Amino acid sequence: MDREATYLFEAFPEISKAQWIEQLSKDLKGKSYADLFWQLESDLVLEPFYHPDDGEPAHAPITGGKQFNDWEVGESIDVADVAKANAETIEALMGGVNAPLFALKKPLDSAELHRLLQRIEPEYVSLHFGEYYSDKDPVALFELLLGWVTGMGKAPAAVKASLDFDPFFDWSDPPMAMLAGLIRRCEVEWPSFKPLQVNTGRFYAGAEATSDELALSIAKGSDYLALLGQQGLSPEVVNRHLQFAVDIGNSYFVQIAKIRALRLLWANVLSGYGVSDAPGVPIVAHFAKESQDENLHTNMIRAATQAMSAILGGADRLYVLPAGASLEDEATPFHRRIARNVQHLLQLESHLGYVVDPAAGSYYLEQLTTQLAEKAWVKFQEIEKNGGYLSFKGF
C-alpha cells in the first residue's frame, strides 16, 4: 500500500459496531434497533447491517472453478411444431442466445431432430433438451443427439449438451440402471454431456423456506450419488455428468446467498463421499413462476434484479422468463427479446462477467450465505438420519 493510501486510512478513525448501533439508536428516535431485524425463517434472524466486529468471512471466494464470472445466455423453446421451433431458435441465436433449451412436447425421430437443429453449429453453442411428455426415453434421445453431432462431422467432446432428466421426479420407480448405463456411455462417447439434472424447482417455496429448499436439494443429489454408487459409478464420475437447476425468486439478497450456499453445501456432500477436488458443478437458474406478477411491465422490470441475483450468486446458465410466459399460452417475440436483452445488458454494459463471486467480502452476504448453509446442513443431516431424500416425509 502506498504512502497516500496509508495516510487516507489513518485519517479516518475505526468505528466499532457498538458505536454504529449507538448512533442508529439516536436516529431511530426511541425505536429499538432490534425492530430492524429481519426474521427470515423461524430460527434465522438477520441484522440490518454487519461489521468487521462480527468476524471475518469464513471462507474464500466461491468460484465454482471459474476464472471469470461468465455465464451462458439461455432461452427456452417449446417444440411442438419443429419448423416453428427452429425458426424461434435461429431468431434467439441471432439475438445472442448461446444455450437454447428445447422443451420437447413429443418424441422426435431423426428427421425431425435434423429439421429442429437446422443451421445450428453445435461447437459455438450448448444444446439442452427436456422431454415433457409421458413416454420419455432419455437413452433414445441421447442416441439421436449423438448421431446428429457425429453426422455433422463434429467431435462430441467439443460439444456441450445436457438433458433435463431427473428420474426421481419423472418416474415412480426411478430407472437407476438406465441412468448409470447412460453415464457410462457419456464417459466414453461424449465426456462433456450431462444426462442428469438435479431439479430443485419443486422445493422453492419463497425466501422464508430457503434452508429447506437447500437441504432437500443436496439430499436429492446425495441420493443420486449413493444409488449410482450401487450401480458401480464413483461419485467423481457422477459429479462430472450432473447439473443442478434452481428457481430464482424475488428476494434479491437471499437468491444470491442461496446459490453461493448451494456450492458450499454440495462441496461438503462430495467431501463426505471422499471427493475433495471435484470441479464445480454447473448451476442452471430459472425464474420461479411464483415470482411472476399479473402486470407484464412489473415482470419486465423485475427481471433485471432477478437475473442479477442469479449471476452475482454464480449461476452458470440463466433462463430469464419472458414477461408473459406464465400468463399466456406462449411468450411473444417482444417479450423474448426483452428477456434476452436483460442478460446482454448485464454482460456487455454492467460487466458482471468479469469478477468471480463479486459477493465475496460483503459482510451481509457472507453472513447470510453462512447462516443459510449452516441451517440447511442441519436439516440435511436430519433427512439423512431418516433414510435420505427418497424416504423423507417432510420437515
- Cα distance between residue 79 and residue 103, in whole Å: 6
In this structure, is residue 137 part of a structural domain?
yes
Q: Which of 246, 243, 244 is nearest to 254 (CA)?
A: 246
Predicted local confidence at residue 365, as pLDDT: 95
Total-model pTM: 0.94
Predicted local confidence at residue 52, as pLDDT: 87
- Full residue range of the structural domain in which residue 278 is found: 72-390
- Cα distance between residue 73 and residue 317, in whole Å: 6
Total number of domains in the chain: 1
The residue whose grid cell reads 436439494 is 217
- Write the CB contacts of 387 (distance below 8 Å, at least 6 apart in sequence): none
In this structure, is residue 239 part of a structural domain?
yes
In this structure, is residue 12 part of a structural domain?
no
CA torsion angle for 291, 295, 301, 307 (degrees, to 10)?
Answer: 20
In this structure, is residue 13 part of a structural domain?
no
Predicted local confidence at residue 41, as pLDDT: 93
Predicted local confidence at residue 224, as pLDDT: 98
In contact, 256 and 218? CB cutoff 8 Å: no
Predicted local confidence at residue 5, as pLDDT: 59
Burial class (CB in 10 A: 0-12, 13-18, 19+), 125: buried
CATH number of the domain bearing residue 259 = 3.20.20.240
Mean pLDDT for back-to-back runs of 10 residues, the chain (395 residues)? 62 87 88 91 91 80 90 97 97 98 97 98 96 94 98 95 94 95 98 97 96 98 98 97 98 98 97 92 96 91 97 97 79 92 96 94 94 97 96 83
Predicted local confidence at residue 57, as pLDDT: 67
Predicted local confidence at residue 4, as pLDDT: 60
In this structure, is residue 24 part of a structural domain?
no
100: cell is 437454447
In this structure, is residue 275 part of a structural domain?
yes
In this structure, is residue 26 part of a structural domain?
no
In this structure, is residue 87 part of a structural domain?
yes
- Write the CB contacts of 212 (distance below 8 Å, at least 6 apart in sequence): 203, 205, 376, 379, 395
